């Protein structure tokens, strides 16, 4: 049975046995008596030099230090620094050193010493999970040598140089972390090749900086609202940004200078990422993924015009290394919202939209349909019509062009950004004018190759996001409503779905608990959801339906 040692800096004594009733006082003493598989349980309090700690604290192989994972170590502070002699970077100021299979969970770490690192990982395979690293004078976690750690679910905030620095030949899995308000969120150098998954990086000088000959793999990361770049690549670095069978899924947006700056000697290949091409500099090839990808709509903030004046590539900022003191100095610039850059969804080209029949004709195929009331009311409003054969075809899909026509008819959005010419929407295309109005009104956007894909089908979640963003909807409270298929909601749409629930815009048939977010929307579903948006705007009366999702 694994040994458990309890530590309490307020009531403990290093002469105690370390039981729950007679805890030790310091982590240092617990580490002295720990054996492999020992778990050191920390109670709330501050562990520092004043409480008797001696730094750096070296966690031996197989030993676990655990605080409170649920709150990311809030109230359990390990603060201090000592000199550690690194085999790759000489003397360093470090709080904790993690050896093979050591585990650190649920604590807060701060190193206020000059060029201080919170955790040092050198050629070992530890786990760092659900911790908070804040106010370290260089970075929260530094990995070097042949390190291969798991760094998961941590918060890195207000560290002087980097949230996480990954150097030399380090690998490892960096997943689900939040990095904010620091120099570089994640800095990768030398020949490092870590895998970055589901990290959220924002409000730094630059989000992710890759240098040297590093070869990281980036999947499903969000890098936004950074002062300079979302992703910077320099020297001979070559990050993996996705392949046709394994799309990147990264979102780079709203960054001050560039969403992606490639100042390396390599051409980058981006597959299945959401990146605004007008916020990219350097050699980057965008390739459409073979995996269907939702089409996000733009947030209601003006974006740059599609043909901006070329911007010279700035001199890349090198990644701070452990020896010199990094000096990130943000230079604020306006932060426009980029055009989302998803992969077009392969769908059959539908037949051209028939001429509608007059709205006074009763539609023949909706009398017993679940959405009949919504459809009839929109017909009365002159927003939708039927086909020449007096049908509405409620269960047929709807294309992006058809949806833009409906949205413009329903809301007549004013222009909020400059026009753009899509190369697949000729001037004589039947929907060219409404596509332009919907685009300028922030309801829809285009693809990275400057196409609109007017004949592609629109998905249910895309309709929801379009209405929330185009109408600028917001709510004052959070919603905990969960669908049975909640996990299928794309990351880019989660906030908009919450807002739509609060506004009672979502209509789910036949099961209100099933959102089916990425399924192609039917004409009836679009009619019902648009009608609910009109209800929220106070333009039409509410309809009683069991399929309206209520918070």
Per residue of the chain (551 residues), give pLDDT as tens: 689 999 999 999 999 999 999 999 999 999 999 999 999 999 999 999 999 999 999 999 999 999 999 999 999 999 999 999 999 888 999 999 999 999 999 999 999 998 899 999 999 999 999 999 999 999 999 999 999 999 999 999 999 999 999 999 999 999 999 999 999 999 999 999 999 999 999 999 999 999 999 999 999 999 999 999 999 999 999 999 999 889 999 999 999 999 999 999 999 999 999 999 999 999 999 987 544 444 454 444 444 434 343 334 343 434 444 443 343 333 333 333 332 333 232 323 233 333 333 334 589 999 889 999 999 999 988 899 888 788 999 999 999 999 999 999 999 988 888 989 999 999 989 999 999 999 999 999 888 889 999 999 999 999 999 999 999 888 766 666 679 999 999 998 999 999 999 899 999 999 999 999 999 999 999 999 999 999 888 888 899 898 999 87
Question: What is the rounded distance in angstroms from the CA atom of residue 130 to the CA atom of residue 57?
Answer: 19
Q: Locate tokens 């039927």: which residue? A: 386
Q: Which two tokens stand for residue 374?
A: 């919504």
DSSP string, 410-447: HH-PPP-S-----TTS-TTSTTHHHHHHHHHTTS----
* Cα dist from 534 to 92, 176, 282, 298, whole Å: 62, 38, 44, 20
| CA nearest to 310, candidates 263, 267, 275, 278 | 278
Determine the pLDDT at residue 478.
64
Cα atoms in the Cβ-side hemisphere of radius 13 Å centred on 266: 18
- Give the closest residue to 404 by CA, choosing from 445, 376, 373, 368: 445
**Is the alpha carbon torsion for 458, 255, 158, 214 positive or negative?**
positive
What lies within 8 Å, CB to CB, of 459 at 6+ separation is 294, 295, 345, 517, 518, 519, 520, 521
Q: Which residues contact 505 (CB under 8 A, 6 or more apart)?
A: 464, 467, 468, 473, 529, 532, 533, 536
Q: What are the φ/ψ torsions at residue 354 (nearest 5 degrees)?
A: -70, 160
d(CA 472, CA 449): 27
CB-based contact 322:117 (threshold 8 Å):
yes
Q: What is the CA radius of gyration of the chain?
A: 27
SS3 of residue 251 by DSSP: strand
Crossing angle for the helix pair 523-536 and 372-380, to the nearest 10 degrees: 60
pLDDT at 466: 93
Tell me what percent of the chain is helix, strand and coil, each rounded to the nearest 5.
15, 25, 60
Domain 56-287, what fold?
Pectate Lyase C-like (2.160.20)
Residue 361: per-residue pLDDT = 56
pLDDT reported for residue 348 = 32
In whole angstroms, what is the distance from residue 118 CA to residue 110 CA?
6
What does the block give as tokens for 16? 């105690």
Q: What are phi and psi of 432, to 5 degrees?
A: -60, -40
CA distance to 291, 453, 506, 510, per residue, from 515 (Å): 20, 24, 8, 10
Residue written as token pair 């709807």? 398
CA angle 318, 322, 325 (to 5 degrees): 70
**Separation CA 458–CA 534 (nearest Å):** 20
User: Any idea where the domains of the chain sit in the sequence?
Assistant: 56-287, 372-536
* Residues β-bridged to residue 232: 209, 261
Beta bridge pairs of residue 520: 459
Q: What is the pLDDT of residue 350?
A: 32
Q: Which two tokens stand for residue 249?
A: 């899924």
Structure tokens that stand for 450 in this block: 């400057």
């Amino acid at each position: 049975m694994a040994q458990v040692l309890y530590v309490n800096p307020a009531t403990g004594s290093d002469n105690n046995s370390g039981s729950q009733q007679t805890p030790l006082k310091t982590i240092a003493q617990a580490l002295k008596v720990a054996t492999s598989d020992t778990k050191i349980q920390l109670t709330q309090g501050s562990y520092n030099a004043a409480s008797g700690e001696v730094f750096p604290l070296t966690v031996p192989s197989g030993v676990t230090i655990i605080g409170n994972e649920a709150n990311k170590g809030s109230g359990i502070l390990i603060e201090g620094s000592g000199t550690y002699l690194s085999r790759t970077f000489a003397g360093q100021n470090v709080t904790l050193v993690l050896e093979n299979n050591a585990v650190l969970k649920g604590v807060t770490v701060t190193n206020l010493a000059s060029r201080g690192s919170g955790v040092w990982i050198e050629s070992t395979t530890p786990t760092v999970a659900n911790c908070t690293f804040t106010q370290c004078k260089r970075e929260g976690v530094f990995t070097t040598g042949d390190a291969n750690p798991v760094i998961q679910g941590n918060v890195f905030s207000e560290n002087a140089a980097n949230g996480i620095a990954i150097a030399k030949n380090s690998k490892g899995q960096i997943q689900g972390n939040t990095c904010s308000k620091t120099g570089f969120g994640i800095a990768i150098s030398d020949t490092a090749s870590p895998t970055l998954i589901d990290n959220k990086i924002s409000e730094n000088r630059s989000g992710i900086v890759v240098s040297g000959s590093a070869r990281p793999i980036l999947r499903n990361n969000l890098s936004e609202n950074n002062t300079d770049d979302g992703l910077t690549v320099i020297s001979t670095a070559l990050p993996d940004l996705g392949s046709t069978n394994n799309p990147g899924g990264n979102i780079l947006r709203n960054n001050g200078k560039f969403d992606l700056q490639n100042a390396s000697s390599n051409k980058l290949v981006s597959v299945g990422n959401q990146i605004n091409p007008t916020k990219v500099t350097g050699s980057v090839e965008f390739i459409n993924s073979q995996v269907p990808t939702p089409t996000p709509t733009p947030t209601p903030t003006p974006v740059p015009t599609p043909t901006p004046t070329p911007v010279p590539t700035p001199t890349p900022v090198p990644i701070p290394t452990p020896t010199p003191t990094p000096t990130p100095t943000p230079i604020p610039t306006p932060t426009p919202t980029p055009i989302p850059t998803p992969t077009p969804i392969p769908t059959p080209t539908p037949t051209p939209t028939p001429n509608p029949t007059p709205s006074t004709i009763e539609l023949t195929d909706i009398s017993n349909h679940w959405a009949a009331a919504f459809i009839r009311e929109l017909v009365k409003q002159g927003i939708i019509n039927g086909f020449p054969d007096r049908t509405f075809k409620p269960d047929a899909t709807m294309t992006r062009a058809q949806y833009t026509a409906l949205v413009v008819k329903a809301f007549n959005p004013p222009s909020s950004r400059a026009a753009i010419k899509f190369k697949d929407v000729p001037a004589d295309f039947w929907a060219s004018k409404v596509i332009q109005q919907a685009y300028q009104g922030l309801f829809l956007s285009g693809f990275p190759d400057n196409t609109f894909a007017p004949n592609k089908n629109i998905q249910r979640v895309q309709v929801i996001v379009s209405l929330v963003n185009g109408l600028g909807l917001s709510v004052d409270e959070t919603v905990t409503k969960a669908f049975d298929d909640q996990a299928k909601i794309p990351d880019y749409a989660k906030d908009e779905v919450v807002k739509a629930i609060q506004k009672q815009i979502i209509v789910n048939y036949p099961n209100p608990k099933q959102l089916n977010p990425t399924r192609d929307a039917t004409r009836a579903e679009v009619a019902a959801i648009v009608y609910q948006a009109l209800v929220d705007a106070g333009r039409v009366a509410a309809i009683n339906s069991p399929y309206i999702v209520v918070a």
